[in-house]
Structure 1
């Protein structure tokens, strides 16, 4: 594994506590993590276990709420009233925060929507506004959201800090959407590609899309999904490539 001090120089995050059970291999590579809190996955046991592991590595902890839909892992848009959605999101985030309080952590680092809710907040004013209203119930907590998303614009209007998130393991379309997982070319599959993407975003504020176009982007934090195949090995290879010329 690469030198751990170097690892902490990079702002890498991952969605964890989702039943993949390789958090122990991932945590050394992360600056922050988003813990599933009961909507698409997770219960008191998984939240406690994952939070303790993150704390042991000094990894910042955020909440990862979703549509309340464990059947579809939160990856399908759900027909639900705005009121019921807000109640569910509030309960999910509160459940994780209570666990953190009991472990001596009294503030979430961030809140990041999951799956279909994340993508809905990218384009839908009503859902995005509802999400931000819930976030504002938890004082001084930022969100992780895509550049040029509806939710990021609404957040900024309401005084909620945004860290723009870029995915290191997923390919992008020209409209900033992610290439569907159903497509064979949806993923970045080696650490060199991921390292090149990270450097391009940080140094040039550009990202190469699936059509080889370059589009403007801002990246404050970079995500690798915990359920990406061999994600921990990809991250190790990413760091080796990133620091190869240091």
Structure 2
């Protein structure tokens, strides 16, 4: 089996340098919830140093809430704001000699696009208009992936190492107790089940099928570097080839 291991970086709140050696793709904050030209440039340069694929991580314009509040915006306005964030990072990539590979929405925008087809379509159109060769990353089985396929994009279904799931396959809302998996051994067990059985156990005990092309770790948690190192070793121990989509076999 083969899987990508991605992390959200350039958000100004994590130890990116300690995380990068263990991942294969980075979702770089590009101005919505965090990030500016300097942070994007530094993150892209670090990704190049470690051979990590670079992706854009656009969000709602919500720095105060770290992009985790669902703002009231029309799909057209969302598309415009997402397009601007993608271009901001793409411009940095051009200057640094890097290639922009994928786009993964952040936070509340990611969760909304997983459920709302109009929002999902607006994001997919913005990505395709910028570069139809970009890969769109979204929650496995979600409307965002369906919208990406409809827009002619390659897509990657995503699962999470340290987030709990609901019985319907959505992520447990952060406002609920236990939404994040805090114990490393529990996260490792969820990852092993994902790669071996294509499933997770929901917060309420149900078995939920999850077909994942990429595995996410949130880089803003204080122990993200330790999680990244241990999860990568667990994946290697399962006999899984860890590589970014499109990387040579």
Tell me which of 65, 77, 99 is aligned to 1:84: 77
Partners of 2:3 and 2:193 lie apart in 1 by 14
Tell me which of 180, 199, 208 is aligned to 1:215: 208
The Cα offsets for residues 70-111 of structure 1, whole Å up to 9 and x where unpaired, read as: 122211111223332222111110010011001112x32110
2:55 alignment partner, SS class: strand
CA contact (8 A) 2:159 2:216 kept: yes
Partners of 2:237 and 2:104 lie apart in 1 by 32
Structure 1, 88-97 or 154-163: larger mean CA deviation: 154-163
Partners of 1:55 and 1:177 lie apart in 2 by 33
**Which runs of structure 2 are paired with 1:1-246 in the superposition (5 Å)?**
11-105=4-98, 107-137=99-129, 138-243=131-236
1:136 alignment partner, SS class: helix
Partners of 1:183 and 1:229 lie apart in 2 by 20
4+ runs deviating over 3 angstroms: 239-246
Shift of residue 10 of structure 1? 5.5
Shift of residue 61 of structure 1? 0.3
Q: TM-score, normalized by length of structure 2?
A: 0.89
CA contact (8 A) 1:190 1:234 kept: no
RMSD, matched Cα: 1.8
The count of corresponding residues between Structure 1 and Structure 2 is 237
- Higher RCO structure (Cα 8 Å, ≥6 apart): 2
1:77 alignment partner, SS class: coil
Q: Which runs of 5+ in 1 are unaligned?
A: 1-8
Q: Which residue of the partner structure matches residue 6 of structure 1?
A: none
1:14 alignment partner, SS class: strand
Q: Which residue of the partner structure matches residue 3 of structure 1?
A: none
Q: Which runs of 5+ in 2 are unaligned?
A: 240-249
1:166 alignment partner, SS class: strand
Shift of residue 242 of structure 1? 4.5
